[in-house]
Amino acid sequence: MSEYIIKNGIVYDPKTGVKGEVKDICIKDGKIADKVSSKAKSIDAKGKTVMAGAVEIHSHVAGPKVNEGRNFRPEDKLFSYKPGGKNTRMAGGFSIPTTFKTGYEYAKMGYTTVMEAAMPPLYARHVHEEIKDTPIIDQGAFPVFGNNWFVFEYLKNNEMDNVMAYISWLLKTTKGYAIKIVNPGGSEAWGWGENCTTIHDPVPYFDITPAEIMKGLLTANEKMGLPHSIHVHTNNLGNPGNYKDTLDTFKLAEGVKPNNKFGREQVFHHTHVQFHSYGGDSWANFESKAKEIMDYVNANKNMTIDLGCVTLDETTTMTADGPFEHHLTTLNHLKWANVDVELETSSGIVPYVYDPRVKVCAIQWAIGLELGLYTKDPMRSFITTDHPNAGPFIRYPRIFKWLMSDKSRQEMLKSFKYSDKVIAATNLASMDREITFYELAQMTRAGPAKALGLTDMCGGLAPGMDADVVVYNIDENKIKDPEEIEKAFGTASQVFKSGTLVVDKGEVVSNGNKRTLWVDAKVPTNSQVERDVQMKFLKYYSVNLNNYEVSDHYVANPYVIEVEN
Amino acid sequence: MSKTITDVVCPFCGTLCDDLIVTTDDDGKKILGVDNACAIGAEKFVHSSDHSHRVTRPRKMQEDGSFKEITYEEAIEHTATILAKAKKPLMYGWSSTSCEADSVGHEIAELCGGIVDNTAAVCHGTTLIAVQNVGIPSCTLGEVKNRADRIIFWGCNPAHAHPRHMSRYSIFPRGYFTGKGAKQRKIIVVDPRPTDTSTLADVHLQVEQGYDYELLQALRAAIRGEPLVGDVIAGVPKETVYEAAEILKSGRFGVIFFGMGVTQSLGKDHNIDAAICLTKDLNDYTKFSIVAMRGHFNVTGSGQVLGWQFGFPYAVDLSRGFARYNPGETGAIEVLKRQEADAVFVLGSDPGAHFPMRCVKEIARLPSVAIDPHITPTTEICDVHVPVAFVGVEVGGNCYRMDNVPIEARKVVEPPEGMMSDYQFLSAVLDRVKELKAN
C-alpha cells in the first residue's frame, strides 16, 4: 500500500489534542504512522486544514424507506444527475441520492464513516444490498428495537437475560451495529392507527410504556457493553411543546454509568434533537426551547446528542415513526408512503419544503443552530441534518458556515419574511458564539467516533488509527467571507480512506475499499429465546426463520466488532 | 437415499412463498417432489429438473430461421458486440432473475447507453406512476396476517394467479390479533366477473368493465357520508356501495390488494391513484393499507435495484449519460413502437408473448439476444438464445416479495452440466463490453 506524507498542514485533532498546529501527517499501510520512508508521496498542505475523516452518526442512506423515497420522487432527480467518469458511475438525486452519489458526495466532503440510522430487521438484506452498492465510505446500520414484540414481552416480564440474548441474536442476524429506538411503542400503536405521544402512554395490548422500553434497552445495552449506547428518537417528535417529553426521556438515563471497553462515556444518545426542542402549544405560539434542552445536556455527561439542523431546502422526510409521517401528510397534504413491518416497526415518508418564508420552518432552522451554539461540550453534540429529514447531507458545509459565522446567521435571520417573529421565538439573534475549527473537529469527528465506540479506529489522527485523513483548502485565521467555509468543506482537496487516496482536488479518484461495520455481541446461549424465536416465526412472521438471516455474502467487506459479555 | 431441502423459496410469483420442501435424488440432480408449493410453483421445480427437453447450450438463428448450437463464448461475444455497437439498446425483462444479476445488467446498460425496463411496463408500471403522484400507505404481508379484518381484492384473482396468497397471508391464516382466521375477516372482491376468488367474498362488487375509477371515487364519497348520485354506480347498486363503505370503515385494519384488472384496464394509473386515495381516506377512520399483487417473483426486486442505482423503478433511459425516466416515452413498448432502439437484449421475461405485435416484429427486426431457460416466443424471434440456469432452482440470489421484503432464493439442484447462470453470463458480457469500449 502507498505511503503518504501530508506536509505542513494546519492540523486539528481532538484525539491527540492538536489545535491548529502546523504538522506533517504520515500514512503507511492504511494507518496513521509516526513516520514514513523516503518513498512516500508528498502532499503539500501548506495553508490548508487537515482533519481526520468525518464520522456521520445518524443518516438515512440505505434501505427500504430510502429507496421508496427515491422511487416515488422522480422529481428529486431533476437537474442533479452527473454522468459516470473513469472511477465513477452515473449518479443523481438531491435529497435522496442514488447509492453511488451517496458515496461520492460524502467522500467529497471528507466523510469516511457513515451510519444508517434505522434498519427494519425484516428488511436488513435490502439495507446491506444498498450499502454494498455505496462506494468508498465505511457503513454500519442500526436495527430498530423500540417496537419489537420480543422486546416488549421480555421487558414486561423483567427478563433481562432474554432481552440481551435477543439483542445479540438480532444484531448477528441482521449484521447490525447498535440498538436503535424510534418512537418507542408509538410505531407499534400505529398498527392500529394510534400513537404514544408521551413516554408514559401504554402501548396497546402490550402492557408496557415507552419509558419502560427505553429504560430496559438502556440497561441491556450497558450490561452487554456494546460499542454504541442506545440511539433514541423519542416520542412526540415534531409537535409544539414536545421539549417536556424530550426532557422526560433524558431523565431516564440519570445516574446510569457507562459500561464498555470502547471508550464511550455516554449511556444514551438522543438523535435529531432539533425536532424535539419545541415550546408553545400550537403553531401560533411555537418557540425554541433549545436552551432548556441544552442546559440539561450540558449538565449530564452520560448523554450525547445530534442536532438535526434544518437546511431550508425541499427534502424528503422519512422515519420509522409511522404516526408522525401520517400527521405530517395531514399537515402539508403532500404524498405519503407508509410501511408497517410485522412484529418490528412502522415507517413513513412525506416530501417536505422547509420554506424560509414560513415562520415555523425558520424557527426550526434557528433551533438546530441554537442547540449547536449552546453546547458546552462539543465532544457530546454532533452535527447532523438527520439526512434527509431536516435537509440533505450535502448541506453540511452550509451548517458549518452558520455555526462558525455569526455574520452569516444574522444575515439569514434578517432575510426571513417573518424575521421579527422568528427572532422573538428564538434566542439565536443574541448568540454570537462562533464554532472553531477545533470544535468542528470535535462535533464531526472525534465526538461521534467516541460515541460510536470507534474512538481508537476513526475520527482522529493518532498513530495506529485508520488513515482517514482530509485536507481542506482553508485557513481558519484567513477567512474573509463566510462563504469560503461552505466552499472549502464542500469539496475537500484530498481525502484518504484507510490510506487510499479516494478524492483528489475535489474529484473521486478511487472507490477505496469500503467496509461494513457490525457488532457480534456474545451472550450465553439461551434456549428460551431460541424457542421463542422459533415459535414467533412459525406463528406470526411471514418469512421462515431460516430465510431471515442476512448471509455473509451480502455484507460488503465486513469489519466485525466482537463484544464479550 | 433422497435428500430433503427445507425453507425453499418459490420462484414463481410475487408471493415468494419460502416454506417449500423439495426432495431430490441422492446426487442432488433430479427433483423428486415438492411439498407446500401451489400447483404452478411445484410444476416449475419439477419441470426444470427434467433436462430431457431443456436447451442446454446457446443457439444462433440461421438465415433459414433454424437454430444452430453455439458455445457460450460465442454467445458472450455476440451479445457484447451488439450491445457495445448499439447507440440505444433496449435491455428488457429483469423480473425473473436475481437482484445480483440485475445489478450486473445495469452496469452493462450504463456502459452501452441502454434503456432498462422491466415487466412493470405491461403490469404494475401504472401503479408505480400512481405512487409517484400520491404515495402509498402499505404494510408487510405479516401485518395482514396478524391484524387485518378487512380484505379487498380489486381486479385480481389470487385463487389462480397467486394461489397461496390467501392461505399464507390474507384470508385464512390465524395471526396474533386474528386468532379466528377467516371467520374474523370480511372479504370484498371487486371484479366484473365471478371468479374463484369472488366465491369467497362477503361482498362481490361486480363492477362494470372499465368503471373502476367511478366505483373507487363513489366509495370515497360514501365513506365520508356524502350522497351518491344515481341508483346504480359503475354497475353496482348504490346500497351495496354504502354497505361496502360501512364494512371498510368499521374494520380495525384493512388492506386493498389490487392486480392487473385495475392497473391495465381503462383509467390505468388514475385507477390506482384513486385506490390509494381511498386507502389514505380510510386512515382517517381506521387503519388501512394497499398492496400491489406483483406478478413475476422478482419484478419488485428489479424496481428496487433500479431505484437505488438510478433513482427510478422502471423505464430508465441511460442513453444520454444520465438516467432519464418518462414512462410513455422511455418504456420498452414506446421505444420499440417508435423504432428507436437499435438492439434488443431480453432477460427474465417474455415480451414475444406479451407485447403488441408491432413491438414483437421490431424485436425480430433488430439485432437481438434472449436469455431464458425456456424456449419462448421471444427466444424464437431473437438472433441468439442463451439458456441459463433457473434462478431459485439451480442458482440462488436475492429477490423481493410483492411487499418489498427481500428473501434470498435457494439453489436446490445442479443445473445441466456446463450451463451458466444469468449472473455468470452477464458478468462475462460486462467484462467483454468493457474491453470493446476501451478499444
Residue B324: CATH number of its domain: 3.40.50.740
Cα separation, B307 vs B303, whole angstroms: 6
CB contact under 8 A, B147 and A191: yes
Question: Which residue among B240, B264, B292 closes a domain?
Answer: B292
Average pLDDT over residues B376-391: 98
Confidence of residue B1 (pLDDT cuts 50, 70, 90): confident
CB contact under 8 A, B177 and A205: yes
Does a structural domain hold residue B9? yes
% of chain B surpassing 90 pLDDT: 97
Q: Which of B7, B111, B124, B308 to mutate to test the interface with A (most CBs of A within 10 A)?
A: B308
Q: What is the pLDDT along chain A (565 residues), one digit of tens a residue?
A: 689 999 999 999 999 999 999 999 999 999 999 999 999 999 999 999 999 999 999 999 999 999 999 999 999 999 999 999 999 999 999 999 999 999 999 999 999 999 999 999 999 999 999 999 999 999 999 999 999 999 999 999 999 999 999 999 999 999 999 999 999 999 999 999 999 999 999 999 999 999 999 999 999 999 999 999 999 999 999 999 999 999 999 999 999 999 999 999 999 999 999 999 999 999 999 999 999 999 999 999 999 999 999 999 999 999 999 999 999 999 999 999 999 999 999 999 999 999 999 999 999 999 999 999 999 999 999 999 999 999 999 999 999 999 999 999 999 999 999 999 999 999 999 999 999 999 999 999 999 999 999 999 999 999 999 999 999 999 999 999 999 999 999 999 999 999 999 999 999 999 999 999 999 999 999 999 999 999 999 999 999 999 999 999 999 999 999 998 7
Report angle CA A66, B146, B155 to the nearest 5 degrees. Answer: 75
Residue A73 contacts B where some CB pair is shorter than 8 Å: yes
The CA R_g of chain A, rounded to the nearest whole Å, is 22
Partners of residue B176 in chain A, C-beta under 8 Å: 149, 539-540
Does a structural domain hold residue B386? yes
Give A264-303 as a 3 state SS string: CCCCEEECCHHHHCEECCCCCCCEECHHHHHHHHHHCCCE
Residue B140 contacts A where some CB pair is shorter than 8 Å: yes
Does a structural domain hold residue B288? yes
Partners of residue B303 in chain A, C-beta under 8 Å: 71
Specify whether the CB–CB gap between A420 and A343 falls below 8 A. no
Q: How distant is the Cα of A42 from the closest Cα of chain B, in angstroms?
A: 32
Which of B392, B400, B383 shows the shortest CA–CA distance to B421? B392
Q: Which of B165, B288, B310, B319 to mutate to test the interface with A (most CBs of A within 10 A)?
A: B310
Answer yes or no: pTM beyond 0.95. Answer: yes
Determine the pLDDT at residue B47.
Answer: 87
Co-location of B105 and B30 in the same domain: no
Specify whether the CB–CB gap between A508 and A100 falls below 8 A. no
Co-location of B207 and B271 in the same domain: yes
Q: How distant is the Cα of B132 from the closest Cα of chain A, in angstroms?
A: 4
Partners of residue A97 in chain B, C-beta under 8 Å: 311
Condensed to tens digits (0 to 9), the pLDDT of residues B23-54 reads 999 988 899 999 999 999 999 999 888 888 89
Cis peptide before A388 (omega within 30 of 0): yes
Co-location of B140 and B183 in the same domain: yes
Which of A188, A189, A191, A171 shows the shortest CA–CA distance to A179? A171
Between the CA of residue B117 and those of A171, B56, B86, B128, what are the distances in Å? 36, 27, 17, 13
Query: Which residue in A340, A539, A546 is closest to B139 by CB distance?
Result: A340
Determine the pLDDT at residue B53.
Answer: 85
Determine the pLDDT at residue B439.
Answer: 80
Co-location of B218 and B322 in the same domain: no
Partners of residue B103 in chain A, C-beta under 8 Å: 133
Residue A326 contacts B where some CB pair is shorter than 8 Å: yes
Set of cell numbers at residue A498:
484507510
Co-location of B149 and B225 in the same domain: yes
Report angle CA B215, B217, B223 to the nearest 5 degrees. Answer: 100
Cα separation, A11 vs A18, whole angstroms: 7
Residue B321 contacts A where some CB pair is shorter than 8 Å: yes
Set of cell numbers at residue A181:
429506538
Query: Which residue in A62, A68, A122 is closest to B405 by CB distance?
Result: A122
Co-location of B256 and B302 in the same domain: no
Specify whether the CB–CB gap between A77 and A93 falls below 8 A. yes
Question: Which residue among B277, B292, B307 closes a domain?
Answer: B292
Q: Which domain CATH number covers B193?
A: 3.40.228.10
Strands ordered across the beta sheet of B31-35: B3-8, B20-24, B31-35
Averaged pLDDT of chain B: 97
Number of domains in chain B: 3
Residue keyed to cell 479506529: A457
List of residues 6+ apart from B299 with CB closer than 8 A: B14, B94, B95, B118, B119, B120, B123, B124
Does a structural domain hold residue B54? no
Question: Which residue among B256, B273, B292 closes a domain?
Answer: B292
Determine the pLDDT at residue B50.
Answer: 82
- Full residue range of the structural domain in which residue B74 is found: 59-123+297-438
Which of A136, A29, A182 shows the shortest CA–CA distance to A499? A29
Query: Which residue in A72, A192, A542 is closest to B145 by CB distance?
Result: A542
Confidence of residue B363 (pLDDT cuts 50, 70, 90): very high
Co-location of B274 and B239 in the same domain: yes
Residue A414 contacts B where some CB pair is shorter than 8 Å: no
Partners of residue A83 in chain B, C-beta under 8 Å: 321-322
Determine the pLDDT at residue B49.
Answer: 81
Residue B250 contacts A where some CB pair is shorter than 8 Å: no
Does a structural domain hold residue B358? yes
Cα separation, B255 vs B289, whole angstroms: 5
Set of cell numbers at residue B8:
425453499
Strands ordered across the beta sheet of A268-270: A180-182, A230-233, A268-270, A303-306, A381-382
Specify whether the CB–CB gap between A541 and A343 falls below 8 A. yes
Determine the pLDDT at residue B48.
Answer: 85
Residue B9 contacts A where some CB pair is shorter than 8 Å: yes
Annotate B383-422 with DSSP letters as a single string.
Answer: SEEE--PPBTTTB-EEEE-TTS-EEEE---SPPSTTPPPH
Partners of residue A100 in chain B, C-beta under 8 Å: 309
SS3 for A41? Answer: strand
Does a structural domain hold residue B389? yes
Co-location of B93 and B241 in the same domain: no
CB contact under 8 A, B308 and A98: yes
List of residues 6+ apart from A146 with CB closer than 8 A: A180, A181, A182, A183, A184, A185, A187, A210, A213, A214, A217, A232, A345
Co-location of B86 and B118 in the same domain: yes
Partners of residue B107 in chain A, C-beta under 8 Å: 89
Does a structural domain hold residue B177? yes
Does a structural domain hold residue B119? yes
Give backbone dihedrals phi and psi of A400, rounded to 5 degrees, phi first.
-55, -45
Cα separation, A386 vs A273, whole angstroms: 10
Between the CA of residue A256 and those of A252, A265, A304, A412, what are the distances in Å? 9, 11, 13, 40
CB contact under 8 A, A337 and B138: yes
Determine the pLDDT at residue A15.
Answer: 98
Cα separation, A112 vs A138, whole angstroms: 6
Please name the residue ranges forming H helices in B295-331.
299-310
Determine the pLDDT at residue B90.
Answer: 98
CB contact under 8 A, A192 and B19: no
Co-location of B22 and B145 in the same domain: no
Condensed to tens digits (0 to 9), the pLDDT of residues B232-264 reads 999 999 999 999 999 999 999 999 999 999 999
Give backbone dihedrals phi and psi of A171, rounded to 5 degrees, phi first.
-60, -45
Co-location of B354 and B392 in the same domain: yes
Which of A240, A375, A401, A399 shows the shortest CA–CA distance to A310? A399
Determine the pLDDT at residue A33.
Answer: 98
Amino acid type, A101: K
Average pLDDT over residues B315-321: 97
Determine the pLDDT at residue B115.
Answer: 98
% of chain B surpassing 70 pLDDT: 100
Co-location of B282 and B305 in the same domain: no
Other CB atoms within a 10 A radius of the CB of residue A201 amount to 18
Determine the pLDDT at residue A492.
Answer: 98
Annotate A352-374 with DSSP letters as a single string.
Answer: EE--TTSHHHHHHHHHHHHHHHH
